[in-house]
Amino acid sequence: MDQLPQQLVNGLWQGAALALFAVGYALIFGSLDIVNLAHGANYMWGAFFAFLIVTRLNQPFWFALILAMIAAGLLAVLIDRLAFKPLRAMTVGSIVLWAGTIVLLAAVIVPLDTSVALAIGVVGAAVMLAGLILDSRTTRLLRSGTPPQLAPMIASIGASIVLISLANGIVGARVSRFPADVFPATPFSFGSVFVAPAQVLVLVVALVLICGLTWLIQRTQTGRAIRAISFSDRTSRLLGIPVDAVIGQTFFLSGTLAGAAGALLGLAFNRLDPNMGTEVELAGLTVIILGGMGSVLGAAVAAFLVGMIRVFSVAYLDSGARDAIVFALLIGVLILRPAGLFGRGSAGRA
């Protein structure tokens, strides 16, 4: 039992990173009732944005972290405009945006001359930008009525496949690693407990960001708008809240958190691959269900719980048991207490 303090420390920082990931998940579910299964791909791209900035542009990690968060946030907004917004409010802009996206994707995936691909890609990006602007300006909807219940989830699965496959093509399916000199590696030691500087960074940044998000949601105008929309988007619209803009901001926040989690965990484990989002996605699902779908505080607390369970099951049982225990917990909570440990009680059974 002498490894107990070390395992507690491991559970703490891994739980913090998981909390960072899951809070973004919960934010989207809470305000839009959408399970955004592209959140894991967003996390993965956050890690790769940081990786590319560090290795290709030779920038320090802290700078790469900030840029990666912004890039992941913008990516989340794009996912909303492509996958979710057309379902709730399709405009002419959505179609223009999609046309641009298809052109851009074609330029990326079809093997072409570099200059030709670049030219087509720029045209695609320009059309996408025009589509985004058009989409935010037009109010005339091409379709009315609510989408089928499961449509957003399936659309986000499609987005996730695209993003993972793009990463496979651009970075390669192999495991990438940050260069050794990007962050100090000498661990601090407290008696028998060792803590790497990267792990301290994960814990500190995660706590700061989660506290920042809580402050933003509770105390600012944007936060009030987000909470109003989570209560009822129809009422919010009647009260003059620019619903689609606020939803865009919510996605941006959620994406930056996923990006931060990806970049930080990518650094702490120093192991990046295009499928890294899938594993954390499933752990994240467990966390938001355990925490009560949509409850940000619940997600944070549940993340530490799940982080501890994962670390301890590896240390004391078996590495294969780790995920099995987490999923058994997931199913157990769904059956016994579908509103989650901190849920508002109404969610769950249809």
Under the binding rule (CB under 8 A), the answer on residue 153 touching another protein is yes
Under the binding rule (CB under 8 A), the answer on residue 345 touching another protein is no
Among 12, 74, 105, 308, binds another protein (CB under 8 A): 105
> Shortest distance, CB of residue 143 to another protein, whole angstroms?
9
> Shortest distance, CB of residue 34 to another protein, whole angstroms?
9
Fill in the DSSP letter of residue 272: B
Under the binding rule (CB under 8 A), the answer on residue 87 touching another protein is yes
Phi first, then psi, for residue 108 (nearest 5°) are -75, -40
Q: Of 112 and 195, which CB lies nearer to another protein in the complex structure?
A: 112
Span of 64-72, 148-156, 175-183, 295-303 interacting with another protein by CB under 8 A? 148-156
AA identity, residue 336: L
Among 62, 328, 344, 345, binds another protein (CB under 8 A): 328
- From residue 75, alpha-carbon distances to 30, 39, 84, 206, 334 in Å are 20, 10, 13, 20, 31
Among 74, 108, 112, 130, binds another protein (CB under 8 A): 108
Quick one: which of 293, 319, 325 has its CA closest to 306? 325
> Shortest distance, CB of residue 125 to another protein, whole angstroms?
16
Distance CA 260, CA 265 (A): 8
> Shortest distance, CB of residue 307 to another protein, whole angstroms?
18
Under the binding rule (CB under 8 A), the answer on residue 151 touching another protein is yes
AA identity, residue 191: G
Among 149, 186, 189, 346, binds another protein (CB under 8 A): 149
> Shortest distance, CB of residue 35 to another protein, whole angstroms?
5
Distance CA 166, CA 158 (A): 12
Under the binding rule (CB under 8 A), the answer on residue 112 touching another protein is no
> Shortest distance, CB of residue 203 to another protein, whole angstroms?
27
Alpha helices in 188-292 (DSSP H): 197-219, 221-231, 233-238, 243-269, 276-290
Among 112, 278, 308, 315, binds another protein (CB under 8 A): 278
- Helix-, strand-, coil-residue percentages of the chain, each rounded to 5: 75, 0, 25
Side-chain-side CA neighbours of residue 290 (13 Å): 26
Contacts of residue 181, Cβ cutoff 8 Å, sequence gap at least 6: none
AA identity, residue 223: G
AA identity, residue 343: G
Distance CA 167, CA 134 (A): 29
CB 95 within 8 A of CB 68: no
Under the binding rule (CB under 8 A), the answer on residue 44 touching another protein is no
Under the binding rule (CB under 8 A), the answer on residue 72 touching another protein is no
Among 136, 165, 214, 222, binds another protein (CB under 8 A): 165
Question: Residue 139 is encoded by which pair of tokens?
Answer: 């109010």
Residues between 3 and 32 with contacts to another protein, criterion CB under 8 A? none
Under the binding rule (CB under 8 A), the answer on residue 117 touching another protein is no
Question: Residue 310 is encoded by which pair of tokens?
Answer: 């994962």
Among 215, 219, 324, 344, binds another protein (CB under 8 A): 324
Binding residues for another protein, rule: CB under 8 A, are: 35, 82-83, 86-87, 90, 98, 102, 105, 108-111, 147-151, 153-155, 157-166, 168-169, 173, 278, 282, 285-286, 289, 318, 320-321, 323-324, 327-328, 330-331, 334-335, 338, 348-350
